[in-house]
């Protein structure tokens, strides 16, 4: 099997932006989003995240796997929180009851306006986080991660380690394929593990151990090559050069505004939990 | 010497400031600042790691040379690939009693144990990023840090002159954590059951903590015949998984708005439980294979 990156070059505004600016924007949007529980504020961030996703021109086919996993997870955990009640003390102190369900004469599930509003806010929140996060691997060139993190202040050694890690993925993936085929030729079948849980896990070892040890042994040659080229002796230069354009500076300014504006609104008491009026009117007297 | 004293003073001031912010968050005005709680959680974790590093900075465990850089890259790439392979995208392996096979978790533990806490943290954090990238899931910083902590904690064994001393320290640490947990349960606020509205009794949880602590301590002595390395990698690995997954699941309470119950039952237990089993079986096998190669090559 081939291990390949999800990134494809697309001539879009999102891909033309500097990856450093994009990562800073993603973190700023994430931090600001988590300040609020008001539906209306959550909706703003949802629209922002959806806008980025749309501008990236990613099709559902491209990101299908991410949504097939995250979609049910988001829904299930939202329902679970809805059924188990308050997220923590102080978010809301009274409930406007819309109805009750008694199970097994002992468990009482109360449906309230607050729970519905909270569930919707949580759904918007988690979906926005997913939308912000899922765009990154599809729209940033893997060969730029090292220089990107160096540009964000990571020391040379760590930035280079990140660059090397990205470059090693296809190589080690190919080694895995070779090892797996070799083991299969000897009668090893991963899909048909038998026995208890311990036996099944142990049966993964013939696949895991050779690949890891081979990678470590091969790593010794890389270490020698790097030492012979005086790695780490002085500051490192990078082949790709990143430069901020006007659009990148605007994005950075917007990111700063998001965080500072969000912090100011939060401190002034805005953006707290809010229940729509029509839900409150539906509550039982 | 002077600069070290100044650094300690600054670190203590920062920690005090964080504690003040934390107490503000729990006060009457705290509800306004709830959005900062998860960030505070991340910053406190960072400060604790920095204190740990600063207190032991003389140790070679923290050295980052060419060897560590290459092993960081190899560990992260392998963790990313194996995470992708075993998350159902390539192999759908049979599961037993809701336990899924996730062998990749042995990698940050092995790399941390064999090459140090820095290599372990990088393997876990960047490897998790790579695995999510290859699968196309995106970036989730809290879980990346959580996976990094697994490898970092496993690598802390290198701070000790020998494995026996590390196991003794771990034994004391488990004892202290058990007593602290009992104290928190007994003296902490009353927790109401979300469905019955009744107060959740505390004593069963005290017994759970006591039994867990006794099992952990028993494991330390029961694994001794298997060798100190096997006992050490299993116990440090288990501690790393509990701290790393616990950190991420706990932070998700504020990130995703989960209840404590959902975070523990929906995330922590399903992740930590199977991971501890996976690591307990595969990490010692990896370590034994590595030691055999080391003996043969002399490096």
pLDDT at B298 over 50: yes
If contacts are CB pairs under 8 Å, which of residues 160-219 in chain A contact chain B?
160-162, 164-166, 168-169, 172-173, 176, 190-191, 193, 196-198, 200-202, 204-205, 208-209, 211-213, 215-217, 219
Nearest to B138 among A136, A142, A173 (CB): A136
Is B29 within 8 Å of chain A by CB? no
For residues A209 and B289, the answer to whether their CB atoms sit within 8 Å is: yes
* Nearest Cα residue in chain B from A91: B31
Contact B107 A212 (CB under 8 A): yes
pLDDT at B97 over 50: no
Higher local confidence (pLDDT), A161 or B20: A161
- Structural domain boundaries in chain B: 1-55
pLDDT value, residue B262: 64
* Burial per residue of B214-250, b for 16 or more beta-carbon CB atoms within 10 angstroms, e otherwise: eebbebbeebeeeeeebbbbbbbbbbbbbbbbbbbbb
Q: What is the pLDDT of residues B6-49, one digit of tens each?
A: 676 777 677 667 666 665 655 555 555 666 677 777 787 888 88
pLDDT at B295 over 80: yes
pLDDT at B283 over 60: yes
B89 vs A contacts (CB less than 8 Å): 65
* Nearest Cα residue in chain B from A174: B81
pLDDT at B109 over 90: yes
Is B266 within 8 Å of chain A by CB? yes
Phi, psi angles (nearest 5°) of residue A110: -100, 130
The minimum CA-CA distance between B79 and chain A, rounded to whole Å, is 10
**Mean pLDDT for chain B overall:** 77
CB proximity list for B59: less than 8 A, separation 6 or greater? B158, B159
A267 vs B contacts (CB less than 8 Å): 32-33
CA A22 to chain centre: 14
Higher local confidence (pLDDT), A176 or B7: A176
Least-confidence region, from A192-196, B14-18, B87-91, B254-258: B87-91
Least-confidence region, from A70-79, B94-103, B169-178, B276-285: B94-103
- Angle of the B117-135 helix axis to the B106-115 helix axis, nearest 10: 150
Is A82 within 8 Å of chain B by CB? no
Which run of H or of E encompasses B46? helix B37-55
Is B81 within 8 Å of chain A by CB? yes
Higher local confidence (pLDDT), A224 or B172: A224
Higher local confidence (pLDDT), A147 or B270: A147
With residues binned 3-state (H G I as helix, E B as strand, rest as coil), the percentages for chain B, rounded to 5, are 80, 0, 15
- Distance (Å, whole) CA A203 – CA B271: 21
Is A54 within 8 Å of chain B by CB? no
- Distance (Å, whole) CA A54 – CA B117: 40
B72 vs A contacts (CB less than 8 Å): 158, 161, 165
What band does A202 get if pLDDT is binned at 50, 70 and 90? confident
- Structural domain boundaries in chain A: 13-146+243-282, 155-228
Average pLDDT rounded to a whole number, residues A9-32? 89
What band does B164 get if pLDDT is binned at 50, 70 and 90? confident
Residues forming a β-bridge with A108: A102
């Amino acid at each position: 099997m081939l291990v390949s990156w999800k990134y494809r070059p697309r001539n879009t505004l999102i891909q033309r932006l500097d990856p450093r600016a994009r990562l800073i924007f993603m973190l700023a949007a994430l931090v600001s989003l988590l300040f609020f529980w008001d539906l209306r504020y959550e909706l703003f961030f949802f629209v922002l995240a959806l806008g980025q996703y749309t501008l990236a021109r990613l099709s559902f086919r491209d990101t299908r796997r991410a949504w097939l996993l995250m979609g049910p997870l988001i829904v299930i955990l939202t329902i679970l929180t809805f059924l188990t009640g308050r997220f923590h003390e102080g978010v809301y102190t009274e409930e406007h009851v819309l109805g009750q369900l008694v199970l097994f004469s002992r468990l009482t599930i109360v449906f309230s306006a607050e729970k519905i509003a909270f569930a919707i806010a949580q759904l918007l929140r988690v979906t926005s986080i997913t939308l912000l996060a899922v765009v990154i691997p599809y729209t940033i060139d893997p060969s730029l991660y090292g220089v990107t993190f160096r540009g964000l202040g990571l020391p040379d050694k760590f930035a280079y380690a990140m660059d090397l890690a990205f470059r090693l993925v296809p190589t080690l993936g190919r080694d895995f394929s070779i090892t797996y085929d070799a083991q299969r030729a000897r009668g090893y079948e991963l899909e048909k593990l038998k026995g208890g849980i311990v036996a099944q896990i142990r049966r993964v070892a013939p696949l895991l151990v050779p690949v890891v040890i081979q990678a470590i042994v091969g790593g010794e040659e890389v270490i020698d090559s790097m030492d012979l080229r005086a790695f780490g002796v002085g500051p490192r230069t990078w082949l790709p050069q990143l430069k901020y354009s006007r659009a990148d500076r605007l994005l950075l300014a917007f990111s700063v505004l998001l965080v500072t504006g969000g912090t100011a609104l939060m401190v002034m008491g805005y953006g707290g939990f809010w229940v729509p009026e029509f839900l409150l009117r539906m509550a039982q007297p | 010497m002077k600069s070290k004293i100044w650094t300690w003073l600054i670190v203590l001031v920062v920690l005090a400031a964080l504690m003040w912010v934390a107490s503000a968050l729990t006060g009457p005005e705290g509800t306004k600042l709830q959005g900062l709680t998860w960030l505070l959680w991340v910053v406190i974790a960072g400060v604790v790691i920095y204190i740990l590093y600063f207190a032991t900075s003389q140790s070679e465990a923290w050295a980052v040379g060419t060897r560590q850089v290459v092993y960081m890259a190899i560990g992260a790439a392998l963790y990313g690939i194996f995470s992708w392979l075993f998350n159902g995208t390539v192999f759908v392996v049979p599961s037993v009693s809701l336990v899924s096979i996730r062998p990749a978790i042995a990698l940050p533990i092995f790399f941390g144990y064999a090459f140090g806490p820095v290599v372990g943290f990088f393997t876990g954090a960047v490897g998790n990023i790579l695995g999510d990238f290859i699968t196309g899931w995106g970036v989730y910083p809290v879980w990346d840090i959580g996976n990094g902590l697994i490898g970092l904690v496993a690598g802390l064994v290198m701070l000790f002159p020998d494995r026996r001393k590390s196991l003794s320290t771990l034994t004391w640490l488990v004892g202290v954590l058990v007593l602290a947990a009992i104290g928190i349960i007994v003296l902490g606020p009353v927790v109401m059951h979300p469905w019955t509205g009744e107060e959740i009794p505390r004593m069963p949880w005290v017994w759970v903590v006591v039994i867990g602590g006794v099992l952990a301590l028993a494991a330390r002595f029961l694994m001794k015949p298997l060798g100190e390395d096997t006992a050490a990698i299993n116990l440090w690995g288990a501690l790393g998984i509990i701290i790393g997954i616990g950190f991420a699941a706990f932070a998700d309470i504020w990130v995703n708005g989960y209840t404590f119950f959902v975070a523990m039952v929906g995330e922590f237990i399903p992740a930590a439980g199977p991971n501890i089993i996976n690591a307990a079986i595969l990490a010692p096998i990896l370590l034994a294979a590595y030691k055999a190669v080391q003996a043969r090559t002399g490096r």
